[in-house]
Amino acid sequence: MITLNKELSLLRTVRNLFEDEVQRVTTFIEDKGNVALAKAYDACLQKRQVNLGFNLFAIISDLYYRETFHSDILKALLDPKSPHGAGDKYLRLFLAFLKSKENGATIDPNAYPDAEVTREEGRVDVLVKDEDSKKAVIIENKIKDAIDQPKQLPRYLYRLKSLGFSCDAIVYLRLNREQQPDMTGWTPEEIAEIKSKLICVTAYNDAEDDLLNGWIQKCENVSRNPDAESILRQYGALIKKLGGNVMNKPIMKKFYSMMLEGENLKTAQSLKAMLDELVLYRAERILDHFKHEPRPFQTPWIYKGKEGTAAVFDELLWHKSDLAVDIYVEPECYRFQVFDRNFEGKGKNPAKNPAKVMLQKMTCLDEYKPASDRFERVFRFPSEEEKLFEHIRAFKKRLGQVIEAD
> If pLDDT is split at 50, 70 and 90, which confidence band does 374 have?
very high
State the chain's mean pLDDT as an integer. 83
- Does residue 60 share a domain with residue 208? yes
- Does residue 297 share a domain with residue 221? no
- Which residues does 148 contact at the CB level (< 8 Å), separation at least 6? 142, 181, 182
Q: Which of 194, 221, 244 is the last residue of a domain?
A: 244
> If pLDDT is split at 50, 70 and 90, which confidence band does 1 have?
very low
pLDDT at 64: 47
Q: Judge whether 174 and 140 are in contact, CB under 8 Å.
A: no
Q: Tell me whether residue 24 is in a domain.
A: no
Q: 243: closest CA among 316, 320, 174, 321? A: 174
Q: Which of 244, 266, 292 is the last residue of a domain?
A: 244
pLDDT at 47: 56
- Does residue 207 share a domain with residue 128? yes
Q: How far apart are CA 155 and CA 186, in angstroms?
A: 10
Q: Tell me whether residue 49 is in a domain.
A: no
Q: Tell me whether residue 72 is in a domain.
A: yes
Q: Which tens digits make up the pLDDT trace of 178-204?
A: 778 889 889 999 899 989 889 888 888
Q: Tell me whether residue 8 is in a domain.
A: no
Q: State the residue range of the domain holding 118.
A: 56-244
* Strand blocks (E) in 197-290: 198-202
- Does residue 294 share a domain with residue 164? no
Q: Which of 201, 220, 244 is the last residue of a domain?
A: 244
pLDDT at 275: 81
Angle between helix axes 354-361 and 385-405 (nearest 10 degrees) is 90
Q: Tell me whether residue 313 is in a domain.
A: yes
pLDDT at 14: 45
Tally of domains in the chain? 2
Query: Phi-psi region for residue 286, left (φ > 0), alpha (ψ -120 to 50) or beta?
Result: alpha
- Does residue 284 share a domain with residue 386? yes
The widest CA-to-CA distance across the chain, in whole angstroms, is: 104
How many C-alpha atoms does 271 have within 13 Å on its Cβ side? 16
- Does residue 91 share a domain with residue 177? yes
Q: How far apart are CA 346 and CA 69, in angstroms?
A: 49
Q: Tell me whether residue 34 is in a domain.
A: no
Query: How many helices (H) does the chain have, and how many strands (E)?
Result: 14, 11
Q: Tell me whether residue 255 is in a domain.
A: no
Q: Tell me whether residue 102 is in a domain.
A: yes
pLDDT at 2: 47
